[in-house]
């Protein structure tokens, strides 16, 4: 299951992680985000133990969203060693997301 990441936990959960981290920036009111949500959950299960998969609610965690220039949601960022190494804006298929995350394992 995807982890809830907040402004307060971002440093520890994402930037300090020794595994690649996929972060889904989303909001409750966002239709495309609701489409992407179940796909992110499936990716979280598939990559358990190999990567961290989390979600940031942009309405409740505005600092991280501002820090990474999130203008459109859903936006998925992939981090490795504390750096953004890939980005997906909008809804993408499970295959595309898994392929991008696999490239950073």
Q: Which of 3, 7, 17, 30 is flagged as catalytic?
A: 30
Burial annotation 6-18 (CB, 10 A radius, 16+ → b, else e): eeeebeebbeebe
Q: Which of 2, 33, 43, 77 is flagged as catalytic?
A: 33
Neighbours of 83 (CB within 10 A): 8
Instruction: State the Cα–Cα distance between residues 78 and 86, nearest whole angstrom.
Output: 5
Is 3 among the catalytic positions?
no
Are residues 23 and 14 in contact, defined by beta-carbon separation less than 8 angstroms? yes
Is 30 among the catalytic positions?
yes
**Residues belonging to the active site:** 30, 33
């Amino acid at each position: 299951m995807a982890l809830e990441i907040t402004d307060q936990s971002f440093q520890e959960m994402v930037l300090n992680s020794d595994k690649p981290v996929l972060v889904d920036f989303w909001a409750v009111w966002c239709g495309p985000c609701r489409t992407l949500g179940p796909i992110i959950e499936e990716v979280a299960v598939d990559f358990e133990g190999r990567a961290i998969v989390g979600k940031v609610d942009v309405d409740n965690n505005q600092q991280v969203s501002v820090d990474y220039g999130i203008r459109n949601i859903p936006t998925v960022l992939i981090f490795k060693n504390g750096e953004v190494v890939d980005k997906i804006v909008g809804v993408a298929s499970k295959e595309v997301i898994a392929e991008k995350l696999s490239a950073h394992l």
